[in-house]
């Protein structure tokens, strides 16, 4: 038991068994019902209702589920040697493989890895199945991507006859039993802390951050913990002497806002564990984008192309999770001298297909000046509409477009029957 929790809460420590869902007023060392040790205890366990669920290495987990021969092997989801890593299973991550890492580097670290091309149709199918289970718990679900979502379970205790903490454990058990997939839960009193909590004990984690412990929990944490604060923002904060949450607490709210604009005001609130954002099932979204900052500036076209593909996949992933499509594709480039270049193109019709987003972004890249090196690249879509109004027609100037989409689905079917190595896309052989 955490010493800080004992200090904050000297009395009751309610708990649940994560396996059989038995509740306890005081946590035992083992469940008295099933005898297992997977006991979750926290003094505020039954009073918190804001949750974040994040699947464990989602793409890789789907591949391992569908191909049991991969179960104990390091699996990397991505393209050929000149591509980049989309994601990797935990076996590969232990070897040092990370998302956005160039494939050649990943294979140096993990030469025995099995490289699998993404099967987006299967990931979307699995995501919808998970979402259906979530909807049995609450209608207030805010998806972030195919594999993660916020849930607000305020007021659901009477409906389910059990507090949110118990129902969230049931969600994870159903995902495992019905879908063969695992996930991690973060439970807290706001969205920021719920997301932080879900990352604390992955994979198959379940972490709780209560109101009373928030300040103590955050004090010594690095600001990189904040979702959306990337390396560029971290560099700017570091120059101001801000590396940890306790550093933020020394700043006046006005001074932070003057120095860092809207980010400064947000940081002031987050430093105190405050996040007023609501979980919104139908939040208005104007655009969907993803970007990456390189550890080293690069002018290598193959590396940049690999990143464009991965970013297009990420954008497609998020669009599909929300049932949206975009009519405008945007490419963002930042040169080594920090000058920013942005290009956008309106499509003949909205799309959520990764291939179309990639090809459009790649054309924008080819039309841009490519002299010198780049330190950041981003891809996004805007002009969002329902996915029911997307990808309806064929481009007469690209008659193979529909064929590629059909070929992708046919490829997925062949792989499902004969194995992932039975057929390869040309891009994976670059």
Kindly report the backbone phi and psi dihedral angles of residue 288, in degrees, each rounded to the nearest multiple of 5, phi listed first: -130, 125
Tell me which DSSP letter residue 372 carries: S
**Residue 348 main-chain phi, psi, to 5 deg:** -65, -25
The secondary structure of residue 47, as a DSSP letter, is T
Classify 181 as helix, strand or coil: coil
Instruction: Indicate which residue of 63, 148, 401, 408 is catalytic.
Output: 148
Q: Quick one: which of 234, 33, 112 has its CA closest to 89?
A: 112
Task: With CA atoms as reference, report the closest residue to 64 among 181, 151, 166.
Answer: 181
Q: How far apart, in whole angstroms, are the C-alpha atoms of residue 36 and residue 53?
A: 23
Residue 401 catalytic? no
| Cα gap 60→116, rounded to integer Å | 9
C-alpha distances (whole Å) from 14 to each of 35, 42, 46, 74, 172 are 17, 6, 7, 38, 20
Give the start-end residues of each E strand in 299-373.
324-335, 340-351
- Contact between residue 264 and residue 258 where contact means Cβ atoms under 8 Å apart: yes
3-state class (DSSP) for residue 366: helix
In a 13 Å sphere around the CA of 342, the CA atoms on its Cβ side amount to 8
* Residue owning tokens 């464009």: 308
- Report residue 25: phi and psi, to 5°: -75, -30
Give the closest residue to 184 by CA, choosing from 166, 168, 160: 168
Sequence-ordered list of residues with C-beta below 8 angstroms from that of 133, at least 6 positions apart, any chain: 171, 174, 175, 178, 179
- Alpha-carbon distance of 12 to 5, in angstroms, equals 11
As a whole number of angstroms, the distance between CA 76 and CA 59 comes to 9
The distance of Cα 181 from the centroid of its chain, to the nearest Å, equals 16
Residues noted as catalytic: 148
């Amino acid at each position: 038991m955490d010493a800080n929790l004992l200090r904050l809460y000297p009395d009751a420590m309610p708990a649940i068994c994560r396996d059989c869902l038995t509740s306890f007023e005081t946590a035992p060392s083992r469940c008295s019902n099933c005898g297992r040790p997977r006991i979750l205890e926290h003094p505020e366990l039954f009073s918190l209702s804001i949750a974040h669920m994040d699947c464990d290495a989602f793409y890789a987990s789907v591949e391992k589920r569908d191909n049991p021969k991969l179960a104990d092997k390091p699996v990397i989801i991505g393209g050929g040697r000149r591509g980049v890593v989309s994601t990797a299973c935990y076996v590969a991550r232990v070897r040092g493989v990370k998302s956005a890492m160039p494939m050649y580097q990943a294979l140096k670290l993990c030469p025995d890895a099995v490289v699998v091309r993404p099967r987006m149709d299967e990931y979307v199918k699995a995501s919808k199945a998970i979402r259906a289970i979530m909807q049995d718990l609450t209608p207030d679900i805010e998806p972030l991507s195919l594999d993660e979502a916020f849930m607000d379970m305020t007021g659901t205790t009477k409906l389910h006859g059990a507090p949110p903490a118990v129902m969230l454990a049931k969600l994870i058990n159903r995902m495992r039993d019905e879908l063969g997939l695992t996930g991690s839960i973060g439970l807290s009193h706001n969205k920021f802390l719920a997301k932080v909590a879900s990352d604390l004990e992955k994979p198959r984690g379940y972490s709780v951050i209560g109101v009373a412990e928030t300040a103590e929990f955050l004090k010594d944490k690095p600001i990189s913990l904040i979702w959306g604060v990337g390396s560029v923002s971290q560099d700017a904060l570091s120059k101001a002497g801000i590396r940890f949450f306790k550093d933020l607490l020394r700043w006046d709210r006005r001074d932070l806002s003057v120095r860092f604009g809207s980010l400064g005001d947000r940081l002031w609130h987050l430093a105190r564990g405050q996040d007023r954002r609501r979980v919104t099932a139908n939040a208005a979204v104007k655009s969907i984008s993803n970007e990456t900052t390189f550890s080293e500036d690069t002018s290598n076209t193959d590396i940049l192309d690999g990143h464009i593909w991965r970013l297009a996949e990420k954008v497609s992933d998020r669009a599909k999770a929300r049932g949206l499509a975009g009519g405008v594709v945007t490419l963002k480039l930042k040169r080594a001298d920090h000058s920013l270049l942005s290009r956008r193109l309106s499509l003949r019709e909205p799309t959520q297909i990764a291939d179309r987003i990639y090809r459009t972004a790649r054309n924008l890249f080819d039309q841009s000046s490519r002299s010198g090196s780049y330190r950041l690249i981003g891809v996004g879509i805007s002009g969002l509409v329902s996915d029911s109004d997307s990808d309806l027609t064929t481009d007469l100037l690209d008659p193979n477009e529909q064929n590629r989409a059909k070929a992708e689905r046919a490829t997925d079917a062949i792989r499902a029957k004969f194995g992932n190595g039975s057929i390869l896309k040309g891009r994976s052989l670059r």
